[in-house]
Amino acid sequence: MAKEKIVQRNSIDAQYDVVVVGAGPYGLSVAAHLLAYGLNIAVFGKTLELWRNHMPDGMFLRSHWWASHLSDPHNLWSFERFFQEASHQACYPVPINTFIDYALWFQQQAVSNVDETYVSTVERHDERFVVRLVDGRHVYSSAIVMAPGLSYYAHRPAEYAHLPPELLSHSVDHGDLHRFQGKHVVVVGGGQGAIEYAALLHEAGASVHVVARHPIFWLAPDRSSERSLFEQILAPNAGIAPGWKNWALEYLPYLFYRFPQHTKNKFIRNHYVPAASDWLRERIIGRVNLYESHLISKVDEAGGRAQVVLSDGSKITADHVMLATGYHADISRLPMLHPSLLRQIQTNQGSPLLSPWFESSVPGLYFVGFTALRAFGPLYRFVVGCKAAAPRVTRAIMRQTGAGK
């Protein structure tokens, strides 16, 4: 069977058609497609590590379950089938642990032998790549698919860099919030992540202050299951959110790529502003301190605590400042890319310039998921983008390597 062609842990100096770096939703989806076409591949990385270790219990997906399928070429391992075979029930919003259980089930069915060893370096020698692993092994491959987790791209504004780590973190640093029980925590940000972490911190026993530069934009209550035909014509259901623009991003997933970069940048900036789901509202209003339309003008350490001064002159003394300031794709932050390889990759504001097939300027080197956002659009911030990226990359690699013939 195809899935038996995954790398074995004792192999040394092995040659593969493709190495997939990362075992999150995008890495697993690409691997499932590659395996189905008989390619000899290796998948390296801890399965669902970001989701399992960097997202606390109690979180929910912003997306519906029907917009959160991982992708395999015959749609055998859908969320719907998982619900039929497992003890979980379809619901909205989807608990993070339900999604994790689904993704692990998908991995066991479609990509059964992920090697959870970390990749140390990826280099290109002549016409092939050399992948060195932290356990000392190294393997060779004709193609590399980079599917890194978001933790590499956490945006940490420079004005907070002087604070020591015991006073400052990014939300992605935390898989357990109970350490903040009885503490005063300032959460910086106004999007889904900031508001949900604020709710979870409050529920873990912290006193929470949310500082957002704009008013919190609350999304309308979800009505996807009860919208009339007329409403669906005006704004069809889509994986990101209802609306024709979101529908086009999902069902014409490569159209966005064709626009000039400045147009794409403007679209991403103007149409996907930070927002919070309506189901968080009752967990926030009256429960945490909201400082909307405020900036932090100064923050310093004093007496082992953070002294925060807001733009209106008010002050907060906090035990911790948590940055929920989002993510910025910058491949220079990927430690496994060897400097010699990084120099060969053409970029724009840190993001790789990609072909219509997700291939970088280095032949055989592909980037999927959030890294492809600036080239392919907002769809690839979400799991729903797996169904567009995985078959596209697979077709390109099939042509490039001539494998599977």
pLDDT at residue 18 in the model: 97
Counting residues of the chain whose pLDDT is more than 70, the rounded percentage is 96
pLDDT at residue 395 in the model: 97
Q: Is the pLDDT of residue 183 over 80?
A: yes
pLDDT at residue 401 in the model: 76
Higher pLDDT, 233 or 131: 131
Contact present, 334 and 146 (Cβ < 8 Å): yes
pLDDT at residue 403 in the model: 59
* pLDDT mean over 104-108: 98
278-304 pLDDT tens trace: 999 999 999 999 999 999 999 999 999
SS3 category, 200:
helix
* pLDDT mean over 357-382: 97
Q: Is the pLDDT of residue 213 over 90?
A: yes
Q: Right CATH number for 158-218+275-323 from 3.40.190.150, 3.40.250.10, 3.50.50.60, 2.40.50.140?
A: 3.50.50.60
126-178 pLDDT tens trace: 889 999 999 999 999 999 999 999 999 999 999 999 999 999 999 999 999 99
Which amino acid belongs to residue 176? D
pLDDT at residue 187 in the model: 98
Q: Is the pLDDT of residue 85 over 50?
A: yes
pLDDT at residue 7 in the model: 45
Band (12; pLDDT cuts 50, 70, 90) = low
* pLDDT mean over 183-207: 98
- Return the CA Rg of the chain: 22
pLDDT at residue 389 in the model: 98
Q: Is the pLDDT of residue 112 over 90?
A: yes
pLDDT at residue 13 in the model: 74
Q: Is the pLDDT of residue 404 over 70?
A: no
334-361 pLDDT tens trace: 999 999 999 999 999 999 999 999 999 9
Residues in the chain: 405
Distance, in Å, from the CA atom of 136 to the CA atom of 122, rounded to the nearest integer, reads 13
Contact present, 321 and 168 (Cβ < 8 Å): yes
Q: What is the per-residue DSSP string for 101-131? A: HHHHHHHHHHSTT-B-PPEEEEEEETTEEEE
Burial label for 173, CB within 10 Å (0-12, 13-18, 19+), is middle
**CA 223, chain centre distance (Å):** 26
pLDDT at residue 269 in the model: 87
Residues carrying CATH 3.50.50.60, the chain: 2-153+327-401, 158-218+275-323
pLDDT at residue 9 in the model: 44
pLDDT at residue 143 in the model: 97
Counting residues of the chain whose pLDDT is more than 90, the rounded percentage is 88
Give me the sheet containing 315-318, strands edge to edge.
Answer: 296-302, 305-310, 315-318
Q: Is the pLDDT of residue 1 over 80?
A: no
pLDDT at residue 127 in the model: 86
pLDDT at residue 10 in the model: 44
Under CATH, domain 2-153+327-401 is a member of which superfamily?
FAD/NAD(P)-binding domain (3.50.50.60)
Distance, in Å, from the CA atom of 61 to the CA atom of 251, rounded to the nearest integer, reads 21
Distance, in Å, from the CA atom of 329 to the CA atom of 342, rounded to the nearest integer, reads 14
